[in-house]
Structure 1
Amino acid sequence: MSESEIPQEAEGPRLAYHHTPGKGPTIVFLPGYASDMTGTKAVALEAWAKAQGRAYLRFDYAGCGASEGAFEDQTIVNWRDDALHLIESLTEGPAVLVGSSMGGWVMLMAAKARPDRIAGLVGIAAAPDFTDWGFTTEQKMTLLQHGRIEVPSAYSDQPTVTTRAFWASGEANRMMIGQIPFDGPVRLIQGQEDKDVPWQRATQLATQFRSAEVQTWLVKDGDHRLSRDKDIALIIRGVEDVISCLQPSS
């Protein structure tokens, strides 16, 4: 396994990543908002990929985890570009993106930008367009007037910060405003006890893909994290399903 950092741009922040070479397609894990590559799902998928001899990439967006940069300077477009830069710099051939929460939004943006490289998608409590539906009117007004908001986090002792720049970037890059031009296999895994992403968002998202090879798997007792052993097993099954669609003879 390679563990290193490379510059995103000549003068941009250096990105931390773990890359495991192997057979393709390369599985790429995209973390959620204010998350990093050390989470349960990212690490568990890496262990599975190693056991299968599969190529795998997990990384930290700029301003997150071990990567350089200030979190409050980032936008969702920056993070999409981080993902694309590492995919293009470190991998060859097709990639299957596994997007957790906000990572599910990043994966849609990346697939739109690089249809020649992105072959399959697995969404885990995917949260595209959450700048639209995930904030109250009062919070949006605070963002516009004061440039940032802080809200208590259920996953950290520190509040979650959102900036006006991030919010505006999200609003300018909403994906669920029409057909999503992706033709590869898609698996969407969603907990029905998710307090952050209403499960109906997953079923709506599924209808908007141009692809016919789309399935939504609802976990009745699943929460937003979907990090239990049985959830991890389902995520791995989703990745295997997508790979089998891409390589039916394997």
Structure 2
Amino acid sequence: MDHAFYEMPDGRRIAYRHTPGSGPALVFLPGYMSDMAGGKATALFDWAREQGRACLLLDYSGCGESDGEFAEGTLSRWRDEVLELVEARTEGNIVLVGSSMGGWLMLLAGLKLVSRLAGMVGIAAAPDFTDWGYDAEQKAKLAAGETVFQENLYGTEPTPTHPAFWQDGEEQRLLDREIPLDCPVRLLHGQLDHDVPPAISLKLAQMLRSVDVQITLVKGAGHRLSRDGDVALLLRTVAAIA
């Protein structure tokens, strides 16, 4: 896969893919422990290139082809990487497309990019999952500086949550107040999503200030929304909002 690197101020290199074209530019934000080589990111990039649309993909530090250690990753760190890449590689208005944790980052980055936001598309968006995604025992361990491991339904190794990520996430929670974003928002969510309950998208829609928010619940779909029909829905949704 063709990719380039952007050097952050501290020297770490962030891998990205960019195709130029008309706007608004599409910016895809992967989920937790995911990267720009995933099926939805690749499908969006290929579609954008075919349509002559500008599109930007990236790997957060510690993920995919980017420099860094995953254990050092936090929402704040990854949000700042997104903002740097958007500033350096896109022009004009943008549409942020966030998958799972990327849906939380989509909101955090969007709050810094308000004047450029043409829209947002969440795919099983998971804002505030450091709150609702862990039980009291796990939170106590994380607060004490321990790494917590959870069952990984998509791989052989358990999924780690490191204390720095959890602590930063708790400081970045959004669902307890109005989210001052006014752009069109589309939220796609599988009805059988056992990782991020569909109720999270309902809560997010309620807390967004925008009056143009639509939720699409997909019957029979789980968290990944990666079936052919799910990807086709994503591309139709992006085309309609952008």
Instruction: Specify if TM > 0.5.
Output: yes
Matched residue, 2:142: 143
Whether contact under 8 Å (1:150, 1:160) holds in the other structure is yes
* Aligned partner of residue 77 in structure 1, secondary structure: helix
**Aligned residue type for 2:5:** E
Whether contact under 8 Å (1:2, 1:19) holds in the other structure is no
Matched residue, 2:153: 154
* Structure 2 residue 8 is matched with structure 1 residue 8: yes
Matched residue, 2:173: 174
* Aligned partner of residue 29 in structure 1, secondary structure: strand
Whether contact under 8 Å (2:186, 2:213) holds in the other structure is yes
Aligned equivalents of 1:3, 1:39: Cα separation in 2 = 14
- The ranges of structure 1 where at least 4 consecutive aligned residues each deviate by more than 4 angstroms after the TM superposition are none
- Root-mean-square deviation (CA), in Å? 1.2
- Which range is displaced more, 202-211 or 66-75? 202-211
The alpha-carbon deviation at position 31 of structure 1 amounts to 0.2
Structure 2-normalised TM-score? 0.97
Q: Calculate percent identity across the aligned residue pairs.
A: 52
Q: For 1:1-250, what aligned pairs fall within 5 Å after superposition?
A: 3-9=3-9, 11-243=10-242
Q: Is there any run of 5+ residues in structure 1 with no aligned partner, and where? A: 244-250
Aligned equivalents of 1:134, 1:142: Cα separation in 2 = 14
The alpha-carbon deviation at position 12 of structure 1 amounts to 3.6
**Aligned residue type for 1:63:** G
Whether contact under 8 Å (1:193, 1:221) holds in the other structure is yes
**Aligned residue type for 1:205:** L
The alpha-carbon deviation at position 207 of structure 1 amounts to 1.4
The alpha-carbon deviation at position 240 of structure 1 amounts to 1.4
Matched residue, 1:246: none
Q: Write the deviation string for residues 194-234 of structure 1: whole angstroms up to 9, x where unpaired.
A: 01011111112111111111100000211100001100111
Whether contact under 8 Å (2:62, 2:68) holds in the other structure is yes
The alpha-carbon deviation at position 2 of structure 1 amounts to 7.0
Aligned equivalents of 2:85, 2:2: Cα separation in 1 = 13
Aligned equivalents of 1:21, 1:141: Cα separation in 2 = 46
Q: Write the deviation string for residues 71-104 of structure 1: whole angstroms up to 9, x where unpaired.
A: 0011110011111110001110111000000000
Structure 1-normalised TM-score? 0.94
* Aligned partner of residue 72 in structure 1, secondary structure: helix
Q: Write the deviation string for residues 166-204 of structure 1: whole angstroms up to 9, x where unpaired.
A: 111111011111111111110000001001011111112
Q: Is there any run of 5+ residues in structure 2 with no aligned partner, and where? A: none
Aligned equivalents of 1:12, 1:138: Cα separation in 2 = 37
The alpha-carbon deviation at position 121 of structure 1 amounts to 0.3
Whether contact under 8 Å (2:143, 2:167) holds in the other structure is no
